[in-house]
């Protein structure tokens, strides 16, 4: 039987909304609307391909953030998955066991295309799965305000994730918690886009190659620090969160006898305090 003391989380992504909003955040206001026809015509065109790559959504950052609230028991993403833009994300989403809900092309870009389907599914899930404690809505439309209010009336903790500058203030106010996608651990903040003549690489974000395991540990530390508002955190709590983020994680498969040994092997990421019976850990940049 599942541990009833652990919160159970459902995640709903209005994928078109978050992709378009982030594209505009990276390349400038209304950029997606201006580029829509070129994207639909040939997403592999060099300039368009580069602009899409610069504005890729980090699905892992969203799912790991949601996992910081509890066990993910239901995850759904709504979009027209035959669209070349959305199909770029299939591998990421399937790898995180996200259920891809197909919207018909005619509805995918129409007003309330995803909104209605997502809202109906969410309310149905809340009545069907009474043990759900948290609802995470990844979108920015004010159309989701009634859904957020209904979820709260049904006793769930409601979290919204949206792109800064593209999320309705009313949606943020209707939820118990709102966090900008831009601020999630692991998400690279876009740089101001230079004038077109200055470089053909306009709009790219600088990324530093990071070992996936180090990135996982760093992200877990930052999320647990936000949750507890403490500099030093219980090592066991960080491990539990990391396992929820990546159930396949095993320190032994990485050559470490214990989780504390694994943490010690990454001194640039974390610092241990073993001076008491309760082992604590903190991010090295926390001080």
Helix or strand or coil: residue 61? helix
CA 198 to CA 237: how far, in whole Å?
Answer: 48
What pLDDT score was predicted for residue 106?
A: 55
Q: Are residues 229 and 177 in the same domain?
A: no
Whole-number Å distance between alpha carbons of 57 and 144? 21
- Is residue 232 domain-shared with residue 262, that is, in the same domain? yes
User: Do both 165 and 243 map to the same domain?
Assistant: no
Gap between the Cα atoms of 63 and 216, Å rounded:
12
Task: Give the burial class of 73: count Cβ atoms within 10 A of its Cβ; 0-12 exposed, 13-18 middle, 19 or more buried.
Answer: middle
| Residue 60, in any domain of the structure | yes
**What pairs with residue 179 in β-bridges?**
161
* pLDDT at residue 210 in the model: 56
Shared domain for 257 and 190, answered yes or no, is no
**pLDDT, one tens digit for every residue, the chain (287 residues):** 455 678 999 999 999 999 999 999 999 999 999 999 899 889 899 999 999 999 999 999 999 999 999 999 999 999 989 888 888 899 889 999 999 999 876 544 445 578 889 999 999 999 999 999 999 999 988 999 999 999 999 999 999 999 988 888 899 889 999 989 998 988 887 665 554 544 444 444 444 455 788 889 999 999 999 999 999 999 999 999 998 888 778 898 889 999 999 999 999 999 999 999 999 999 997 44
Q: Please count the structural domains in the chain.
A: 2
Residue 206 in any domain: the answer is: no
* Domain assignment of residue 120, given as a range: 8-198
Domain boundary among 147, 170, 198: 198
């Amino acid at each position: 039987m599942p541990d009833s003391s652990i919160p159970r989380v459902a995640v709903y992504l209005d994928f078109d909304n978050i992709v378009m909003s982030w594209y505009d955040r990276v390349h400038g206001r209304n950029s997606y609307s201006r580029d829509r026809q070129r994207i639909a015509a040939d997403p592999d065109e060099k300039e368009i391909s580069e602009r899409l790559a610069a504005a890729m959504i980090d699905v892992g950052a969203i799912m790991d953030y949601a996992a910081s609230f509890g066990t993910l028991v239901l995850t759904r993403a709504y979009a027209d998955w035959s669209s070349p833009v959305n199909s770029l994300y299939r591998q990421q989403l399937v790898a995180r066991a996200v259920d891809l809900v197909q919207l018909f092309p005619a509805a995918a870009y129409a007003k309330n295309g995803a909104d209605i389907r997502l809202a109906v599914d969410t309310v149905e899930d809340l009545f069907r799965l009474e043990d759900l404690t948290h609802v995470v809505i990844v979108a920015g439309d004010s159309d989701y305000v009634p859904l957020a209010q209904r979820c709260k009336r049904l006793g769930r903790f409601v979290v919204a994730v949206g792109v800064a500058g593209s999320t309705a203030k009313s949606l943020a106010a209707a939820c118990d918690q709102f966090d900008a996608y831009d601020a999630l651990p692991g998400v690279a903040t876009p740089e101001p886009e230079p004038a077109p003549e200055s470089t053909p690489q306009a709009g790219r974000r600088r990324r530093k190659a990071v070992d996936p395991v180090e990135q996982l540990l760093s992200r877990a530390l930052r999320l647990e620090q936000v949750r507890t508002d403490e500099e030093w955190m219980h090592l066991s709590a960080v491990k539990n969160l990391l396992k929820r983020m990546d159930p396949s994680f095993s320190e032994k498969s990485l050559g470490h006898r214990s989780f504390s040994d694994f943490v010690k092997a990454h001194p640039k990421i974390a610092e241990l305090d073993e001076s008491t019976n309760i082992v604590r850990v903190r991010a090295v940049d926390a001080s």
